[in-house]
Chain A
Amino acid sequence: MARVVVDVMLKPEILDPQGQAVQRALPRLGFEGVSDVRQGKRFELEVDGPVDDAALARIHELAESFLANTVIEDFTVKVEDEKVEAGK
């Protein structure tokens, strides 16, 4: 078992009103000095078996065709440490 994380973010040129709403709330909460916030999505995939190149390639394809819409979003795929629960 391993965990693969797919992070999806709106492309920089796409307006992110959710992120802006969060950013505008920050001064009211006493947080100063944050000039921009952008909100994305994180997918954690628990994968059976080894995460070899073939498995990663399939996850990349999944991210590109389904988890992200590449017309508006960028994504990254990374393998997390296999013992994710340890240390918590």
Chain B
Amino acid sequence: MTARIGVVTFPGSLDDRDTQRAIRLAGAEPVALWHKDKDLKQVDAVVLPGGFSYGDYLRAGAISRFSPVMETVIAQAKAGMPVLGICNGFQVLTEAHLLPGAMLGNNHLHFICRDQKLRVENAGTSWTADYASGQEIHIPLKNMDGRYVADERTLDMLEAEGRVVFRYVDVNPNGSLRDIAGITNEAGNVVGLMPHPEHAVEPLVGSGRTDGLPFFTSILKKLVTA
């Protein structure tokens, strides 16, 4: 049976369609979820896509965190369902306290859009199994509020437990502490990252690389073997 992967659309989501397309290209069935619905339509995993949900009013991701769909996503994530948060989705995951730390405005105050080099630090999560630890990849990055912060104790804990999943290489584009681009929760089923793997899944588009596709094939493999 084909794996069903839900993609939540909040008011202001921008990358929900690209994410659905990436899921389809990886061989799974994308399922559109609406922010007002508590029902997850029996999906096997959920992606919170990029964009500016609720206009990023108050703080990025702060209002979406209280949407009806998140009530179910939070409960299911705690029960072990794989959840990936990309960019705004990562912000929602920190606001929901499914991931530690918080996201703040870029240290240079500018919106940034670039092809970003990353190092995969942890290939053991639900969403990174098709990478190799230490592998370097290029995927697009575009954000205003991409500065990852947490207190020293939390940062040390993330490092010690191998929960820093991605680090920026060569350039730190937003002032994120310890060059952190993505992290995971203790169980490894919830992953958040600022750059956009869903924009690097077809050779004809963008930089011509498909370095983002393994995210969506990793989760397929995980769901098939689960």
Among A10, A14, A21, A66, contact of B109 (Cβ-Cβ < 8 Å): A21
Query: Given A14-B104, A17-B109, A21-B109, A72–B149 Cβ distance below 8 Å?
Result: yes
Instruction: Tell me, in angstroms, the Cα distance from A10 to B101 when the chains sit together.
Output: 14
A15 within 8 A of B: yes
B55 within 8 A of A: no
For A18, the chain B residues whose CB sits under 8 A away are: 105, 109
Tell me whether chain B's interface is mostly helix, strand or loop, or mixed. Answer: loop
Nearest CB in chain B to that of A67: its residue:
B58
Shortest C-beta distance, B145 to chain A (Å), equals 12
Instruction: Tell me, in angstroms, the Cα distance from A18 to B104 when the chains sit together.
Output: 11
Assess whether B66 is in contact with A69, with CB atoms less than 8 Å apart: no
Interface size on B (CB < 8 Å)? Answer: 20
Instruction: Tell me, in angstroms, the Cα distance from A15 to B94 when the chains sit together.
Output: 18
For A13, the chain B residues whose CB sits under 8 A away are: 151
Among B66, B101, B107, B109, contact of A71 (Cβ-Cβ < 8 Å): B101
Assess whether A17 is in contact with B107, with CB atoms less than 8 Å apart: yes
Could you tell me which residues of chain A, from 6 to 27, have a CB within 8 Å of some CB in chain B? 10, 13-15, 17-18, 21
For A17, the chain B residues whose CB sits under 8 A away are: 105-109, 175
Interface centre among A10, A13, A17, A18 (most CB of B within 10 A): A17
Interface residues, chain A, with chain B CB atoms under 8 Å away: 10, 13-15, 17-18, 21, 66-67, 69, 71-72
Interface residues, chain B, with chain A CB atoms under 8 Å away: 58-59, 62, 66, 94-95, 100-102, 104-109, 147, 149-151, 175
